[in-house]
Structures are given as structure tokens and as C-alpha cells.
Structure 1
């Protein structure tokens, strides 16, 4: 009866009740959404921080698909054995392996060829990831203004051992290509006899090779006995090389690379141990020098400088190897994460 007499009041009451119902439903929805959001935040905060690395690792792996590794291999340091592993793994690890073949086995490039080489390597995307190798001196990509620098690796050998191996290699060849006639074929003088008569090809200055290979393309690098070249080779080892190993510890070099750069070397250590790659190339005939020959060689300036670089590289490699292959508890549990990121 009252509602019939006051139709406007009746309509107003219906609208008011509907609005109250709507607000109640909306409030319940907001409370539920807030609860779910808080639970999600709590779950993220309570996750182990190491899980946060998964996204970083995914990004890292994707980034490594564009990686370039350059192994500017020094002759007679076991490089053929190591390169054989890289070629065996390239298909299963999905990268390209390419040999750098320079005219007349020259170890340095002219400046125009340096520019072209740097541009080829960095812009040849269809070849990435890529493993380049060749008997070529270190080349600093940074000075050419490119955005991508390669990962350099190398192997060094005790300088006198490398020198003697090369001496006999030029005369007798090796078991890798046994029928190939070498440059000094027919010369049967032993290394001791060569030193005694002062023959040119056993002059200690000819040991000057590992230093210039790490020093680079500067003409000063190739002047035997140049102190600046030695220091530059050390600087490049520290600044530009991912890893420099030694021939005498080739297995550990391969093992370390597998840990440091699994994108390329996954499975390399096992392959090295259970294949013929560890003894792929050996000089056919070689004689150890007499003590008086060694004493004479070790008095030379070039041997002292080459040996200084070798020992420097050996010490650096041992420091890296110790933390990876025989880690302390602190090193073994080491992780990294990002905090205090601003702005929020």
C-alpha cells in the first residue's frame, strides 16, 4: 500500500539494494585477488636464490650461440691432437670448425687483410658459433671497432722441447703424414751436432715463436730478444685469452675447457681419453739433447725469454686449473646473483 502511493521511493530502494550487492561482490573479488597476489609474492621470495640463475643461464647459452673461438695454434705444441678433438665434436655440439690458411704459411696478415679477416669472422653469422684455428699471430679485434671480440685460446710448450721437435720434424716428418717429404729431408745431423757446428737452423734465435704468437702483429713482436714483445705477450695472455694451457698437461687443458666452455667442448675430455687424439701426431725420429747442448741453449737470451713466458703461462694455467679441477669448498659452492636492482 505504501509502495503504491510512493512509486519513486520504491524504485530508489531497488537501485540502492542492487548497488550494495554489486559493491559487496566487487569487494570480495578484490580481497581474493590480493590474497592470490600475496601468495605469489611470498612463493617467489621463499624460492632458493640459486634458482634465479636459471634465467641467466638460459640467456648465457643463447648468447654463446653467436660465440667465436680462435685457437691461433703455435707449431709443434700438440695442436693437431687438440684440433682433432674440435673437429670430432663440432657436429654433436653444433658449431662450425674452420682452418685459417694463410699464403705461404705466413704468421701475420697485411693491414688490409687484418680488416677483412676481422669483418669476415664477426659478420659471418651463418658460421656461428665458430671455432677457428690456424698458425697465425694474435690479432686484437678491439682496435678495429667491431662489437664482438672472439674468445682466444692457446697451448704453449717448453721452448727447448718445441725447438728440438721442430728440428727433427723438418728432417723426418711425423706419423700423421709419413710419406710427405720435409724441407730438411736427407740431413741426418743430430741436434747436438747442429749446435756444435753452429748450423743456422739450430740457432737459438729460431726459438723466438711463442712470444710473437701471443704478442701479435706489431713488427716489434717478431724481433728476437725484444723485451717489449715478451711483456706484450704476457699482457695479451691476461687480457685477451680465455685460457692458455701447456702441451705437457694437454689432458687437463681439455678438461678445463670442457668446464669453462661446454658450448663447444662438452664431452671433449672423455673423447680425449678414449680415442687416439691424445697421440695423433708424433715426430718420427727424435733424440734427446746432451747436457752440454742444453746448457749452451739455456745461456741464450731468447731461450730465457721464451722460458719466462712459458713459466708465466704455466703458473696462470695452474691457478685456473686448481680452482676448477680441485676446488676448495668455497670455490665449489660459489654462486652469483643480482640484488638491489634500481629503479624498482
Structure 2
């Protein structure tokens, strides 16, 4: 059987940039598509010779579940998930000063308006795990999770990294945190009405996060 293509589904603001820097160390440049936009990646892959296609061993990026359909090889996913309230807070303060589209549109946007405006702020993690073509539900996400070797928890990053190291037989996993949102307030500094609005917009993410965290802790305890 062909070696499985390892797909890192990077969910924004879950510690994924730090994790990706570790992940891509284990592949040469011609073995990995590292955050290449979907259309560009598909075009590049279709132009490769068959023997070169088999050299692709890894994919990472802000892709939705289903990216494996572009490849004929067997595949396996992994990802990280973060508590939905913490993630949306981090998203807002990170994107508010992100050059280009977000900075231009969010310059004078309140947090409350942002939650209604950005699709990422409403069950964004469940959406990615369900895939763009599928009905959005926790049940569908759980079904797709059967194709995941592991989903780590941002709040337990070191434990997640050790579990991934064991499952994928990674080497040196020393790391430095990158892409951290430094300007964001602490959770208890965010107005309660904002917290409640985030909760209302992320009921599926909260349910899925609790399910994934429970399973993750069981895996850690089994090590």
C-alpha cells in the first residue's frame, strides 16, 4: 500500500502556525504543499508526472475536510481545536490589524459586529471539520473525525505535541511560539454580553470541543 498523505488541517488561531513549523520540518520542499491555496495546489498537482505525484507526502493549510479528494493516495488527517470562546476572542484582535482585507473592513468594527460579520466566528471549527460540501452538524463532524489520526487541544499544546510525535513518529519537536495575538484581553476582561453572543454563535463548536477534549484526555491517559 502507498504511504499515506498526512494532512494538517490548520484551523485559524488554534496554535496551528507553531505546529505547522514543527510539522513541515519533517518533509523536503517537493514533498509538502505548505499553505498553498486550493486552486493553485490543484493546478500544480494536475501538472505533475505520476511518479512525482507519489512524492507528495504532506499537505498543510486552512483547508476544509475533503482536500484528500484531490489525491489518489491513502490519507490521514490531524488538527488542533481550541475552546471556541478563546478562539473567537483571539480571531477578532488578530484580524483587526491583519493587513489587507480584514484590516480595511474591521478598522472601526466593534467586537459585537464582528461576530455577526465573519463566518469564522460562527461554528468555524465545526465547519472546517464537516467540510464545505456537507451539512453542518456535530454528527457529521464526528463521522469525519474517523479519518483523523489525532486532534490536539490548544490549551494542552505540549501534551498534543507529544501525542502527535508518538502517532507520526516525529523527531525533534522543540518549538518557539509564533503568531501569538499579543494585543487581546484576557477572558475575564471581555464583557459578559460578548461572551454570551460568542456562545450563542458557537453552540456546535462548544459541543464538538467538549467531545474532542474528552477523547483527547483519554488518549493522553492511555500513553
TM bucket by the smaller chain?
A: 0.7 to 0.9
Aligned equivalents of 1:154, 1:103: Cα separation in 2: 18
Structure 1 residues 101 and 76: CA distance shift in structure 2, 3 A:
same
Secondary structure of the residue aligned to 2:36 is: coil
Q: Is the 8 A contact 1:86 1:97 kept in 2?
A: no
Q: CA RMSD in A?
A: 3.4
Cα distance in 1 for partners of 2:51, 2:132 equals: 19
The answer for unaligned runs of 5 or more in structure 1 is 1-62, 174-179, 222-228, 325-344
- Find the structure with the greater CA-based Rg: 1
Moved over 6 A (4+): 119-123
C-alpha distance 123-236 of structure 1, shift in aligned 2 (>3 A):
farther
Pick from 192, 199, 214: which aligns with 1:291? Answer: 192
User: 1:283: Cα distance to partner?
Assistant: 1.8
1:106-145 mapped onto 2 (5 Å cutoff):
124-127=53-56, 130-139=57-66, 141=68
Give the unaligned 5+ runs of structure 2: none
Matches within 5 A, 1:199-214: 199=113, 201-203=114-116, 206-214=121-129
Q: TM-score, normalised by structure 1?
A: 0.54
Provide closer, same or farther for how the CA distance between residues 145 and 159 of structure 1 changes in structure 2, counting only shifts above 3 A.
Answer: closer
Of 76, 82, 85, the match for 2:13: 76
Q: How far did residue 284 of structure 1 move?
A: 3.9
TM norm structure 2 = 0.80
Aligned residue pairs total 215
Distance 2:100 2:67 in 1: 36
Contact 1:95 1:131 in 2 (8 A): no
Q: Does 1:152 align with 2:77?
A: yes
Aligned to 1:163: 88
Conserved? CA contact 1:170–1:182, under 8 Å: no
Structural mapping, 1:3-22, within 5 Å: none
CA distance in 2 between partners of 1:256 and 1:236 (Å): 20
